[in-house]
Structure 1
Amino acid sequence: MKKILVLGNFTKKKIHDMVSGLKPWLNKYVETAIVDLSQDEIPEGIYEMAVVFGGDGAILSTCRKLSGNQIPIIGVHMGRFGFLAEITEREVCKSMEKIFSGKYSIRKRMLLHCRIQRRDKVICESIGVNDVVISRSSLSRLISIRLLIDGEDVATYRADGLIISTPLGSTAHSLSAGGPLVTPDLNAFIIVPVCPHTLTNRPLVVSGNTKIEIEPLSQSPSIGMTVDGQIYTELEGGDKVMVERSDIEIQMVDTGERTFYGVLREKLNWGGPPNYGRN
């Protein structure tokens, strides 16, 4: 390994100080290009890995920015939740030495591709790592959303919104709305209505090869599409949101120190025995 990217939001003092302190040590092993996610563009060049310092938001943003470059990505947890990060700030040097000696593997994860079609024209498109959400943006009213899968009319929801999630995003907004936990290696979409007004509107898990079409039926001016909780686009009456698997995959670095189920137990306190209490 000869050259890596190191990324983070350096307006945050903790991240700035961590990266500044580590750079001389990293330069002993590889050439290091530093990128401030709050303002810098990704510099041109051939990089063999991207190391992201921050929380899940920084990792999501980096995954989208680098999705076309096919650079393996590893996150260093310096945020609140850190579900996507592979290593903690205390383990940085030990884990990076392991990586520099070649003791790691690459896990490929599917991305989604979404676009907004307005009067037969595509007005917006984006790659999504976790999810795309159709929801109301202001007034506390239910909205009507029509769902089609591979051209078939599947359901019309009266709900606060609708989430289309990748397996990687199943532990994010989808989980909060009652969606299932899905291992990140699957080829699937999770479709989860947000607070539906019909008890039979349950989450769906469908093949990642399906083509999903969402049509907001409500005429409210405050309905929008949000990608990964970071990119928002207002929708107009008659707009259609098309979601399918992207041709691009992201490559996540796996040092073997964490597993999906281990993270569930650690971060979500999942899978513990029942607490029956004591008399």
Structure 2
Amino acid sequence: MKSKFRHIALLGKYQLPTAGGAKPSTRLTLETIAQFLHAQHCEVILEHDTAANTGLSGYPVMDVPGIGKNCDLALVVGGDGTMLGYSRQLAQYQVPLIGINQGRLGFITDIPLNAFADTLKDMLRGEYEQDKRAMMHAKVWRDGHCVFDALALNDVVVNRGATSGMVEMRVEVDGHFVANQRADGLIIATPTGSTAYALSAGGPLLHPSLPAWVMVPIAPHTLSNRPIVLSDPGEIVIDLVAGRDASANFDMQSLASLLIGDRITVRRSEHSACFLHPKGWSYFDTLRKKLHWNEGVA
């Protein structure tokens, strides 16, 4: 049976850590996957930076906008961070992504590298589960002007400076005053991001299908200040009241330095990420495996 996808973009992480022994080179890995896709009668397109940094050649090369306009599938090789970066860039083009895990945790890059061929054969024929993930659109405002604009798939985080004390933030939801919070920071996370930084700060797990996000204080001064789950069609506004060297992080991959009086607004993005998983994939299977639930149970 022919592949359902004709034009497939191959995108990868360029440098991988060497922990616990040598790993196969990125170039060799991508070349092996490219040859497999070619054997499935798919046209392989290399992402520009991936080709430039690995030296892989012999295939057409496009930048991310070109991939968005010309490809019907993006195959991302790397870890969750690589997947986060490309999903934000490709969201506006509605290109679905498949993640091959060459990282460590792999919450959203869920196909093991050593099993990619058998898994992809079925997926390319249309046997997959589609998983749409909501994204956030965040802006930093200063003196009435937008000075930073970013998408986030995981979270928007306001953090204190590395050597300073707590930050104080005034928080509103849909125009309603919530509280003045003093803490090391504040996390606004999507359901996808609820298994990331928000989880380590004591936040709940949110199923990806929920139209919600979670607001989680980081080490709050008032111990009764707890995480809260919010409906995502609304707007969250965070005003920086006090705190030196504070910053706003978006998926921990882009950063804006903040000044007292800056305002951060967070709304649901009109774009969403679309992940494809192997047939039979379950979010709960992922939680059980990645969070090591039921270990030691006979």
Q: Is the shorter-chain TM-score for this pair beyond 0.5, marking a shared fold?
A: yes
Q: 1:26 aligns to what?
A: 37
The answer as to whether partners of 1:73 and 1:252 remain within 8 angstroms in 2 is yes
Q: 2:21 aligns to what?
A: none
Counterparts of 1:170-189 in structure 2, within 5 Å, are 170-189=194-213
Distance 2:243 2:167 in 1: 9
Q: 2:227 aligns to what?
A: 203
Residue deviations 1:146-192, cap 9 Å, x none?
Answer: 11001111011111000000001100000000000111111101000
Counterparts of 1:167-246 in structure 2, within 5 Å, are 167-220=191-244, 222-246=245-269
Alignment partner of 2:288: what SS?
Answer: helix
Distance 2:136 2:281 in 1: 25
* Stretch moving more, 21-30 or 204-213: 21-30
Alignment partner of 2:204: what SS?
Answer: coil
Q: CA deviation at 1:61?
A: 0.4
Aligned alpha-carbon RMSD (Å): 1.8
The one-letter code sitting in structure 2 at the alignment partner of 1:254 is H
Structure 2: which 5+ residue stretches go unaligned?
17-23, 54-61
Distance 1:259 1:196 in 2: 34
Q: 2:12 aligns to what?
A: 8
Given the alignment of the two structures, is residue 86 of structure 1 paired with residue 102 of structure 2, yes or no? no
Q: TM-score, normalised by structure 1?
A: 0.93
Alignment partner of 1:262: what SS?
Answer: helix
Q: CA deviation at 1:140?
A: 4.2
Distance 2:172 2:32 in 1: 52
Counterparts of 1:32-71 in structure 2, within 5 Å, are 32-35=44-47, 36-37=49-50, 41-42=63-64, 44=66, 45-71=69-95
The one-letter code sitting in structure 2 at the alignment partner of 1:7 is L
Q: TM-score, normalised by structure 2?
A: 0.87
Given the alignment of the two structures, is residue 165 of structure 1 paired with residue 169 of structure 2, yes or no? no
Residue deviations 1:106-162, cap 9 Å, x none?
Answer: 221110000011111111111100000000132141111111001111011111000
Distance 2:258 2:80 in 1: 27
The one-letter code sitting in structure 1 at the alignment partner of 2:125 is S
Structure 1: which 5+ residue stretches go unaligned?
none
Residue deviations 1:32-51, cap 9 Å, x none?
Answer: 11224586832614111111
Q: CA deviation at 1:242?
A: 0.1
Distance 1:14 1:3 in 2: 25
* Stretch moving more, 17-26 or 204-213: 17-26
Q: CA deviation at 1:272?
A: 5.5
Distance 1:52 1:157 in 2: 39
Distance 1:57 1:254 in 2: 17
The one-letter code sitting in structure 2 at the alignment partner of 1:225 is A
Distance 1:71 1:228 in 2: 20
Q: CA deviation at 1:70?
A: 0.4
The answer as to whether partners of 1:15 and 1:78 remain within 8 angstroms in 2 is no
Distance 2:259 2:65 in 1: 36
Distance 1:5 1:236 in 2: 40
Residue deviations 1:39-83, cap 9 Å, x none?
Answer: 683261411111110011000001111111100011111101111
The one-letter code sitting in structure 2 at the alignment partner of 1:3 is H
The one-letter code sitting in structure 1 at the alignment partner of 2:279 is G
Q: CA deviation at 1:205?
A: 0.2
Distance 2:296 2:240 in 1: 42
How many residue pairs align between the two structures?
A: 274
The answer as to whether partners of 2:129 and 2:281 remain within 8 angstroms in 1 is no
The answer as to whether partners of 2:140 and 2:146 remain within 8 angstroms in 1 is yes
Distance 2:161 2:75 in 1: 34
Distance 1:272 1:11 in 2: 33
